[in-house]
Chains A and B, each alone.
Chain A
Amino acid sequence: MSGRVVLVTNNPRYLSNVTSIDFIDGSSWDVLVKVRDMVHGGCKLLSHPLYGNLRPYQQPFRSAILSLKSDNDYSRVDEYSLTLIEHALSVYRSCLDRLLLRGVLPPATEEDYAFMDMELMKQTLLQYDIFSEKGV
């Protein structure tokens, strides 16, 4: 691993537990677009963007962990990261008209989606040492 690691997410639940975060106040699609732009800027994906076995119209949250540098060279795009994020965007694009947005579900249900989103990212966050159970 080289460089700093950041979590890009639209899930506010992380704000109190993750030490390096880029919070997107928007949809899951907005998160993936931001990640794609970052990959084009030389960042490298450290987590799979389609984690969790729920479709885009079933889970309002999306998160991705990226290394801010790609082999210390911003001029090079990591092709595998680009392939993964483009495939993820393609999956989301196929059902963009049914995208589940934040604030639509009953609060308690949405809270459980936020909880599950964090559960599925936790292992990667811990591996890259940007997660604190006690809070930040």
Chain B
Amino acid sequence: MKLELHKVKVSKLAWGDKTAVRDGVLFVNKEELVSMLSEDERLAKVDVELAMPGESVRILPVKDVIEPRCKIEGKGGIFPGMVSDVETVGEGKTLVLEGAAVVTTGKIVRFQEGIIDMSGPGADYCPYSQTNNVVLLLDPVVDLEKHDHEAACRLAGLKTAAYLAECCRDCEPDRVDVYETLSFRESMHAYPDLPKVAYLYMLQSQGLLHDTWVYGVDAKKSLPTLISPTEVMDGAIVSGNCVSACDKNNTYVHLNNPIINSMYEHHGKDFNFVGCIITNENVTLADKKRSSSYSIKLASMMGLDGLLISEEGFGNPDADLIMNCWKAERAGMKTTLLTDEYAGQDGASQSLADSCPEGDACVTAGNANEVITLPPMEKVLGYPDEANIIAGGWDGSLASDGTITVELQAIIGSTCELGFTKLGAYTI
């Protein structure tokens, strides 16, 4: 499968009469966008705001972040099973508005998730402080059932991302990135001297606000399966989760998965990247056993030498991570794990809720319990009083002047377990 990403650079946002990109500025026709989103009868009120890097703006509570993309050539449509038909994607050409993002915000339950600060110390921890954000403020009709509310917010974000890109589909790209995955028949013999390595991509799947969708299918109801990395770039995997915000893979991160990008970079040089297996992180222990055994069975059928495993979330999924690890190792595959840590505010507690001796190669995205003070911002998009009941916050988190003291857990994407973070450590 071969996919070309036609990237149109966006360095600024502005309101305009017509939604289009001109000289790096994405103009947004607010009236047209609000009108389209208001067609959803589950939403009583829709508003759109713009937030750009460096501004004194805070956004909360954030539900999802999505990169605007659309298919310009090839089978299927963007976000299949959500805003497009369920046809398989991952081939042809896809337009990307690089540097732009759609941010959804709204109150689904009374405790809240997800802060984005566009400047200040919080911005250093949040990848979306660097994107030009089209922010959707979504208020539901009275007494809307919570699953319907979540679905309405999710679809509004995806529809907006598709709409923005679709309006710019004739733009000349600033850059074209090409990704190709060979068939198994070819890839198994492509680099006989290099180890065969795949990516085991764990998807959050515990329930409402903790779910992920694959081609519109609830990941908790699916057995592990194979997916081409280019399908992921076309939105085959969509986030339905935001609790806790720091280590949930937003749709934006799935589309730009740094692990996949990095594995492509090393492909043919350090190892032979032969594909991805997706699996879930259910609450039921029997599901954990079934999914981990089934994933490693698929890996064994592929004759892998190594497996890179990324987790989404903490606690419950630590058990899945560890089962995947030791089952792979005992089947003869080397593993590397990607996770984050909940080591307490002093960093002294045990980082993960599970472990195994085989898990001897592990990359961490940081301690989510680290406390940070976020100074007041001139403008808040969303619901500022919710900081007191935000996961990662506590009663008293929000001071009268607007200062918020929280754990990193509350900052969306701050300890992303796919490595989509702004801060890192390097060996010197």
Contacts and interface: CB of A to CB of B under 8 A. Distances in A.
A115 B146 contact: yes
Interface of B: 109-111, 146, 204, 206-210, 220, 243-244, 247-248, 282-286, 288, 313-316, 318-319, 342, 344, 349-350, 353-354, 369, 389, 391-392, 394, 409
B284 A127 contact: yes
Contact of B110 (A54, A112, A119): A112
Contact of A51 (B146, B206, B209, B286): B206
A94 B349 contact: yes
A54 B244 contact: yes
A51 B283 contact: yes
B313 A53 contact: yes
Contact of B315 (A53, A111, A116, A124): A53
Nearest to A113: B111
A130 B36 CA distance: 43
A52 interface: yes
A21 interface: no
Contacts of B315: 48, 50-53, 91
A48 B288 CA distance: 9
Contacts of B318: 50
B109 A115 contact: yes
Contact of B208 (A47, A90, A116): A116
A33 interface: no
A115 B111 CA distance: 11
A52 B248 CA distance: 12
Contacts of B284: 46-48, 123-124, 127
B110 A123 contact: no
B288 A53 contact: no
Nearest to A80: B285
B353 A50 contact: yes
Contacts of A55: 342, 369, 391, 409
Contact of A119 (B208, B344, B391): B208
Contact of B350 (A91, A109, A127): A91
B391 A48 contact: no
Given A52-B210, A120-B207, A123-B220, A112 B283 contact: no
Contact of B285 (A48, A88, A112): A48
A98 B345 CA distance: 12
Contacts of A83: 354
A50 B208 contact: no
A86 to B, nearest CB: 10
Contact of B243 (A52, A91, A98): A52
A88 B316 CA distance: 10
B112 to A, nearest CB: 10
A105 B109 CA distance: 14
Interface in A1-57: 45-48, 50-55, 57
B109 A120 contact: no
A53 B353 contact: no
9 contacts: A48-B319, A53-B204, A53-B314, A58-B392, A109-B110, A115-B146, A116-B111, A123-B220, A123-B282
A84 interface: yes
Contacts of A106: 110
A63 to B, nearest CB: 10
